[in-house]
Amino acid sequence: MAKVKGTIDINIEKCKGCELCIAACPNKVLKLSDKINVKGYRYAMLYMEGCNACMSCALVCPDAVIKVYKKKIE
Ligand code: SF4
Ligand code: SF4
């Protein structure tokens, strides 16, 4: 069976570092950056392999700044 692999794109300048996406990710592949964005917040980032495009982060983000992409691995 083909596995689904995913990746995400976070609009980091609009992220407010609330960490809801980090708590919601079942694969624990998100963390807060050590850097800050223009608003002065540490922003969320994907920091390792393992995203399966489950959408949890995008659904929970109050500002809807996360886009999720699916890739099929044969
Ligand atoms: S789509 Fe799912 S697995 Fe991927 S980063 Fe978001 S919550 Fe984690
Ligand atoms: S839920 Fe949205 S605003 Fe909150 S840390 Fe994640 S990307 Fe940033």
Q: Report pLDDT digits (tens) over 41-73.
A: 999 999 999 999 999 999 999 999 999 999 876
Percent of the chain with pLDDT over 90: 89
State pTM to two decimals: 0.93
Q: Taking the domains of the chain in order of start, what are their residue ranges?
A: 3-73
Name the closest-CA residue to atom 3, ligand 1: 51
- The finding on whether 44 has its CB within 6 A of some atom of ligand 1 is no
What architecture (CATH level 2) is domain 3-73? 2-Layer Sandwich (3.30)
Q: Report pLDDT digits (tens) over 24-39.
A: 999 999 999 999 999 9
CA of 62: how far to CAs of 3, 21, 25, 28, in Å?
Answer: 29, 9, 15, 19
Quote the pLDDT of residue 72. Answer: 74
Quote the pLDDT of residue 1. Answer: 57
Ligand 2 atom closest to 57 (CA): 1
**Tokens 């083909």, residue located:** 2
